Amino acid sequence: MAKDVKKLKVSAIRNGTVIDHIPANNLFKVINILGLDHIDNQITFGTNLESGKLGSKAIVKISDKYFVDEEINRIALAAPQAKLNIIRNYQVEEKKEVIVPDEFSGIVKCVNPTCITNNDDVKTKFRVISKKEVSFKCHYCEKITDQEHMVFI
Amino acid sequence: MKNRSLISINDYSKEEILQVLDLAVKFEQNPSQELLSGKVIATLFFEPSTRTRLSFESAVNRLGGKIIGFSDSASSSATKGETLKDTIKTVSNYSDLIVMRHPIEGSARYASEVSTVPIVNAGDGANQHPTQTLLDLYSIRKTQGKLENLNLFIVGDLKYGRTVHSLLMAMAHFNATYYFISPKELRIPTEYKMYLDQHNLKYSEHADFKDIVDEADIIYMTRVQKERFSDPIEYEKTKNAYVLKNAMLQNTRNNLRVLHPLPRVNEISTDVDDSEKAYYFTQALNGVYTRQAIISLILGLKN
């Protein structure tokens, strides 16, 4: 019964990608990172849904859209526990987890206020140094930003 | 190293570091060589640093090169609002190599990405100053006859001092044992201790060094600035613990040498200057040979 109620909250899609287990307060960050606010595909999302693991989670369903790993791993910073369901003809064809990339650019700010990326028109670029408790080193100023001080652009 | 920018000491492998030092020895033996004739070196100092600039310019002059540039941003187009990118792109048309000093961290790395000629970082804010590190290594090797297995005392501001951080990382190639001596508020940051742990290197932290100074091969002094303290009383209480006096050198090792990146304020008492263990002024001279070596390697004039 409970499962049926959940299904009604966010309707099923025929083909596309379902991103589940997004922390509710990072939903819009994930949308932003993936550029979902600039595409024409049908998108449904639910947020503040109950979740045993996260307390409060969000889910996004994007019709007729499949992501390459590199693209999807960009959300790992905002939603490290996110699960992806690849849907074809209403069936879950594949399940995937996100992996924190070794390097990334954009997405977050450098923690250092006197870094060139916070003072000039320079896109941030980082090398990940720890994937568990995510922390990453700025390519430019070499300072380390950790999860606690992570600010999304 | 040919045509490669030097932004961070980590850009050079251990072998490349040694290659610079070996070539610097040759420049010390014969400082005036016309290797740079017909070459133009730009020295762009977006913030003033007379000592570093003169050292670079002396190195270029001794190699017979020409210099263009500015010594602080007030006399550059930066005051008209020109972006760093535009300045670098323009100046790379006029020169064969750019030496730059800039108050913003990461500016040198960024410049190396937009420049068509190699960049040598002469200090980007609190981040890196690799030529200083190379001259420090040159001075250590010259005074100790080796770089391996030395007891390195680093004293003063270990939190903000960029020369400290770069030296620490460079000396990790040579199995140093580190003694960090600093006030509580200016201790070495955790990330550097993690770095030493990963490399299985020994280090210890101390609030004072009077009782352990007889173990030192190198004492690397740095300035403790009052502005770094949140509590001025704490500064007054601790400041004297980080001043080196001649009397403290009495029972130290014969091979001990005292280094300082300069400028010194009062952290080395002037009565140390006449000691044969004071090396900081010769250290500054070594900067010229080291920079001659770096410039000629990057321009492919020596290998």
Whether A141 and B8 lie within 8 Å, measured CB to CB = no
Domain range for A93: 2-97
* B160 pLDDT above the threshold of 70: yes
Residue of chain B with shortest Cα separation from A140? B106
Q: For position B102, which CATH number holds?
A: 3.40.50.1370
Counted across chains A and B, CB pairs separated by less than 8 A come out at 50
Phi, psi for residue A82 in degrees, rounded to 5: -60, 145
* A3 pLDDT above the threshold of 70: no
Whether B296 is in a domain gets the answer no
Same structural domain, A11 and A72: yes
Q: Supply the angle between the helices B130-144 and B280-298 in degrees, to the nearest 10.
A: 120
Same structural domain, B123 and B168: no
What pLDDT, on a 0 to 100 scale, did the predictor assign at position A4?
47
Q: Is A46 left (phi over 0), alpha (psi -120 to 50) or beta?
A: beta
Report the number of distinct structural domains present in chain A: 2
* B254 pLDDT above the threshold of 80: yes
Same structural domain, B58 and B198: no
Q: Strand, coil or helix: what is A76?
A: helix
Percentage of chain B exceeding pLDDT 90 = 84
- Asked whether the bond before A80 is cis by omega within 30 degrees of 0, the reply is no
Same structural domain, A27 and A84: yes
Same structural domain, B262 and B138: yes
Q: For position A56, which CATH number holds?
A: 3.30.70.140
Our CA-based measurement puts residue B127 at a distance from the nearest CA of chain A, in whole angstroms, of 6
Residue of chain B with shortest Cα separation from A145? B191
* B283 pLDDT above the threshold of 90: yes
Please report which residue ranges of chain B form alpha helices under DSSP H: 14-29, 50-62, 84-94, 107-114, 130-144, 162-171, 190-198, 232-238, 280-298
Our CA-based measurement puts residue A101 at a distance from the nearest CA of chain B, in whole angstroms, of 21
Report the number of distinct structural domains present in chain B: 2
pLDDT one-digit tens code per residue, B138-158: 999 999 999 999 999 999 999
Q: Supply the angle between the helices B84-94 and B107-114 in degrees, to the nearest 10.
A: 50
The pLDDT of A59-80, averaged and rounded, is 90
The pLDDT of A23-46, averaged and rounded, is 91
Q: Indicate the burial class of B247 (C-beta count within 10 angstroms; 0-12, 13-18, 19 or more).
A: exposed
Q: Which residues of B are catalytic?
A: 51-52, 80, 101, 129
The pLDDT of B225-235, averaged and rounded, is 82
What pLDDT, on a 0 to 100 scale, did the predictor assign at position A73?
86
Closest Cβ opposite residue B106 in set A117, A121, A144: A117
Whether B246 is in a domain gets the answer yes
Same structural domain, A74 and A6: yes
CB contacts of A139 in chain B (<8 Å) are 106, 109
Confidence category of residue A9, pLDDT binned at 50, 70, 90: low
Domain range for B38: 31-128
Whether A140 and B83 lie within 8 Å, measured CB to CB = no
* B207 pLDDT above the threshold of 50: yes
Distance CA B25, CA B302 (A): 13
Same structural domain, A37 and A62: yes
What pLDDT, on a 0 to 100 scale, did the predictor assign at position A5?
46
Our CA-based measurement puts residue B102 at a distance from the nearest CA of chain A, in whole angstroms, of 10
Whether A140 and B126 lie within 8 Å, measured CB to CB = no
Q: For position A133, which CATH number holds?
A: 2.30.30.20
Whether B293 is in a domain gets the answer no
* A106 pLDDT above the threshold of 70: yes
Whether B299 is in a domain gets the answer no
The pLDDT of B179-192, averaged and rounded, is 92
Closest Cβ opposite residue A115 in set B106, B128, B191: B106
Distance CA A100, CA A122 (A): 23
User: CB distance from B57 to chain A under 8 Å?
Assistant: no
What pLDDT, on a 0 to 100 scale, did the predictor assign at position A1?
44
Same structural domain, B143 and B265: yes
Phi, psi for residue B91 in degrees, rounded to 5: -65, -30
CB contacts of B128 in chain A (<8 Å) are 142
* B299 pLDDT above the threshold of 70: yes
Q: What is the CA angle A71-A77-A81, rounded to 5?
A: 90
pTM: 0.87
The pLDDT of A66-82, averaged and rounded, is 88
